[in-house]
Amino acid sequence: MPCFNVANTVDEAISSLLKQTRSDFEIVAVDDGSTDATGEHLADWTKHDPRVSVLSLPHGGIIEALNAGISTCNAPFIARMDADDRAHPKRLEKQISFLESHPNVAVVGCLVEGFPVGEVGEGFRLYMEWLNRLVTSEEIAREIFIESPLVHPSVIIRRTWLERVGGYQDLGWPEDYDLWLRMYVAGARFAKVPQVLLYWREHKARLTRTDDRYSDENLLRAKAHYLLQGPLKDRNAVIVWGAGRMGRRISKLLLQDEAPLVAFVDIDPTKIGRTRRGLPIIPPDKLVGWWRRSDHPIVLAAVASRGARSLIRDRLTGMGLVEGSDWWSVA
């Protein structure tokens, strides 16, 4: 449990973990070079409960802290939690029970609830609503290239899978999303316990708001990187649905790695008939014809406008294309 937040929230997090109905666990609290009273609070907890141990490090960032904490743990399951969140008393029991009864699942998350209510803005609320709709392995895999489909501090990961893919890595984009995509490409399956088991604290100092690795551009870089290793591997034609801002940005990254883009699809009559990156922009009713020109094509839906994803899904499904096989949403 990396402890890189203010000291008083550490007490809340550890207290909620020690109330777990499953008692056969250990807490490794990683103090990543804190400069407040975090170290003192953690030292007090080790005196109160033998399940709590502290790993004190000079500040090295979240990836170094995560890998150090994992190397210190001995259990076959690694549960993530941040120092400012709260766990439901049955979180560990329910998630470990799920993994024990689903040996083919590598990572199990849960539903989440944001707090304090007054700090939860519309964007954060919409993201949680999307996250909480993705529960089964199929649902998570289907939308994994839209955004990170799992809340990092809500998961339990099999140690064998962490070791298989090399733990957390720093490639210049979010470490959690990188891990999910890397595991997905390696064949991992994800799922969630369909219950709120983590209370996710919202605040302005979260890394997702302050660290450049979590910028929109770096999220796109991560998507493009793993699209090329996964869904786009061995494809001989890529068609991007969306000639607007998102389509331009993802296509630029894909073309840098020589992805075989052949056309864009758009519904805007002012764009249809023109070109984007030297490739034709076609209307949706011409897509099937372009699809049939290749023996292994793929469509990437890259429109970020609210509601566009479901409309595109209906249109592509009506054409007989299968999501997660023939086409993927990337926005």
Residue 128 φ/ψ, nearest 5 degrees: -65, -40
Tokens at 16, concatenated = 């909620």
Note whether 70 and 36 are same-domain residues.
yes
Residues 241 and 315 placed together within one structural domain of the fold: yes
> Is the torsion defined by CA of 323, 328, 330, 331 positive or negative?
negative
Residues 119 and 167 in one domain: yes
Task: Choose among 123, 328, 113, 321: nearest CA to 230.
Answer: 328
Residue range(s) defining the domain that contains residue 153: 2-217
Measured CA to CA in angstroms, residue 141 lies from 14, 17, 191 at distances of: 32, 29, 9
* DSSP secondary structure code for residue 322 in this structure: P
On whether both 174 and 204 belong to a single domain, the answer is yes
Q: Does one domain contain both 268 and 149? A: no
Residues 66 and 118 occupy one common structural domain: yes
- Give every CB contact of residue 172 below 8 A, 6+ residues apart in sequence: 213, 218, 221
Q: Is residue 241 located within the same domain as residue 151?
A: no
The tens digit of pLDDT for each residue in 204-231 reads: 666 666 678 889 999 999 999 999 999 9
Domain presence at residue 222: no
Residue 228 in any domain: the answer is no
Pair (324, 241) in one structural domain: yes
Q: What is the DSSP string of 219-285?
A: HHHHHHHHHHHTTTTT-SEEEEE--SHHHHHHHHHHHHTT--EEEEE---TTTTTSEETTEEEE-GG
Residue at which a domain ends, from 187, 217, 247: 217
Please report whether residue 115 resides in a domain: yes
Same domain, 54 and 106: yes
Single-letter code of the amino acid located at 247: G
Could you tell me if residue 259 is inside a domain? yes
Residue 8 sits in the same domain as residue 44:
yes
Q: pLDDT tens digit string along 274-313?
A: 999 999 999 999 999 999 999 999 999 999 999 999 999 9
Number of domains in the chain: 2
Task: With 0.95 as the threshold, say if the pTM is over it.
Answer: no
CATH classification of the domain holding 201: 3.90.550.10
Q: Write down which residue in 185, 217, 249 finishes a domain.
A: 217
Report pLDDT digits (tens) over 41-68: 899 999 989 999 999 999 999 999 999 9
Kindly state whether residues 194 and 316 are assigned to the same domain. no
154 and 213 inside one domain: yes
